[in-house]
Amino acid sequence: MNNEDIIRKLNSVGKEKFTTYYDLFKQYADSKISKENAIQILVTDGVSNHNGASIRLGNAKLIFENNKQNDALKIIYNSRIPNDIRKSAKNILKDNQAL
């Protein structure tokens, strides 16, 4: 998976949502939470409808399966998005010891 692939997947998930729901996406990718439970959380939180949540989860899972989550966070950090989201991405990278 190259940077263009990561960016496409991130755009499908949403850079802000990838950062905000990082732990949920990671748990789903690691099979620690079922797809239906993850979808329910996203729908309940008003992130998207059922189909949109399924698409977000599928694309996020591909990022994690290809071990590109830190690359995705770096792309987010270097994007023109709100500073609080950039700061969250940076903190997750620190937690992952990827800075």
Q: Find all residues with CB under 8 Å of 30, minimum gap 6, and list them.
A: 64
Q: Find all residues with CB under 8 Å of 10, minimum gap 6, and list them.
A: 18, 59, 63, 72, 75, 76
Domain boundaries, the chain: 3-95
How far is the C-alpha of 55 from the C-alpha of 17, rounded, in Å?
12
Q: What pLDDT shows up at residue 97?
A: 83
Series of mean pLDDT values for 10-residue runs along the chain (99 residues): 94 96 97 97 96 97 96 95 94 84
Q: At what angle do helices 50-65 and 69-77 cross, to 10 degrees?
A: 110
Q: What pLDDT shows up at residue 99?
A: 58
Q: At what angle do helices 35-44 and 22-29 cross, to 10 degrees?
A: 160
